[in-house]
Amino acid sequence: IAVAINDHDVEVTATSALADVTITCVHKGDLFISLTLEITKDEGDVGKNTLTLSGDKLTGGNGYPDETVGFINLAEDEYDYQATPFSSTTNLDRMRDFLDARWQYNQQKFGHCVTTHHGNFGEHVAVGLARNDKYITNMGVSNGLSPAWTYAAALGAIFATHLGTPPELSRPLQTLVMKGCRLPGKVYDLTERNSLLYDGIATFNKNPNGQMTIDRAITMYRLTDTDNPDASWLDVNTLAQMVYFVRFMKGRLAGKFPRSALVNVNPNNIAGQVSPPQIKREIEQGYLKLINLGVVENFGGFNKGLSVKRDDTDSNRVNIEMDVDVVNQLIVMAAVVTSHLQIEEGA
């Protein structure tokens, strides 16, 4: 058994002494405490009735790395998704602060962290209730049979593939297979998954083929600054839609008015000059295009709230206010079905 383990490029090494095989993680830290030891039937019945395990999990590791240097190396480049297996409080705090800064007006680099939390149901709940992160998705995994980074990478790959371009970025991620992941030993039922979602923990399910699939992908954001429930940044699609919207509008306006003089009105459409009404019309046309791309809806509501005005103190500045109505996702279909022994015709 030890030879078989060491002959493969896996996450552990093995040594044998008499009838015992000791398994040791290749990497340091407590990341592998999440791994579950299990005798599977992947290779037939070998060992199924002859092997016993001294425990169902690995023990002894502690500590997580500091990703600060990695964050610095991202510099001004845009990385929309960061998948990480490191989900300790310290790591998530560091990631939260990093992403909060990249979403600010003076950076606009954006970003979304994808990770997984490994533990039992109660531990998932505790982690979810202790946080309120807009830009972090944390999926709860119990009795994982793959390394933590495999689950995080698979989830991150789905985000990057499906949330980058319209109209796909407006579609929910439910039922998509997390490729390369072994199905965890514990799959929560509907009631448990619903509870986790209310606590800020993303959930998975399994399909008829026994594959691990996304149940619902959410962020860890739950409450406003005044502790009121708020679903405005709950679904990951909303973040993707808003990033696309901002970049689209920014590119459209910069391309249309790259070097323009600013005037109150431009009745003769003088080349090289632009007025707030002209900018407003360009934004309206852009919004209509985004409707056709399946990113936003409700042009009437958007147009009603759209404001384009010159700044009162800076004559070189235009202030724009936009209320964006993003396309939603069909996640729940509720129906009331009533049985009758007989329904009279015409009744």
Q: What is the pLDDT of residues 205-261, one digit of tens each?
A: 999 999 999 999 999 999 999 999 999 999 999 999 999 999 999 999 999 999 999
Task: Give the burial class of 192: count Cβ atoms within 10 A of its Cβ; 0-12 exposed, 13-18 middle, 19 or more buried.
Answer: middle
- Let me know the angle formed at the C-alpha of 186 by 182 and 191, rounded to the nearest 5 degrees: 125
Q: For residue 194, tell me if it sits in a domain.
A: yes
Q: Is residue 274 part of a domain?
A: yes
298 and 318 in a single domain? The answer is: yes
Please tell me whether residues 83 and 154 are part of one structural domain: yes
pLDDT for 175 equals 98
Tracing tokens 């306006």 back to the chain, one arrives at 253
For residue 73, the surrounding DSSP H or E stretch is helix 68-74
**Are 83 and 228 contained in the same domain?**
yes
Domain assignment of residue 21, given as a range: 1-63
Co-location of 7 and 82 in the same domain: no
Q: Read off the pLDDT of residues 274-330 as tens digits, 9 standing for 90 and up.
A: 999 999 999 999 999 999 999 999 999 999 999 999 999 999 999 999 999 999 999
pLDDT at 15: 85
Mean pLDDT of the 324-347 span: 93
Residues 33 and 79 in one domain: no
Tokens coding 58: 């690995």
- Establish if 246 belongs to a structural domain: no
Kindly report the backbone phi and psi dihedral angles of residue 177, in degrees, each rounded to the nearest multiple of 5, phi listed first. Answer: -80, 135
Residues 97 and 75 grouped into a single domain: yes
Looking at the structure, tell me whether residues 196 and 262 fall in a common domain.
no
pLDDT mean over 318-346: 95
The predicted pLDDT at position 26 comes to: 75
Q: How many angstroms separate the CA atoms of 36 and 185, rounded?
A: 8
Banded model confidence at residue 21, pLDDT cuts 50, 70, 90: confident
Let me know if residue 100 belongs to a domain. yes
pTM of the model: 0.88
| Residues 124, 162 within the same domain | yes
Q: What is the mean pLDDT of the chain?
A: 91
Within-domain flag for 88: yes
Residue 33 inside a domain? The answer is yes
Residues 262 and 182 in one domain: no
pLDDT in tens, 104-140: 999 999 999 999 999 999 999 999 999 999 999 999 9
Would you state the pLDDT for residue 28? 72
Domain count, the chain: 3
Residue 249 forms part of a structural domain: no
**What is the spatial distance between Cα 302 and Cα 226, in angstroms, rounded to a whole number?**
27
Examine the pLDDT at 272 and tell me if it is beyond 60. yes
Between 165 and 19, the higher pLDDT residue: 165
Quick check: 145 and 151 in contact, CB under 8 A? no
CA–CA gap between residue 315 and residue 164 (Å, rounded): 37
In a domain, 248, yes or no: no
**Shared domain check, 231 and 163:** yes
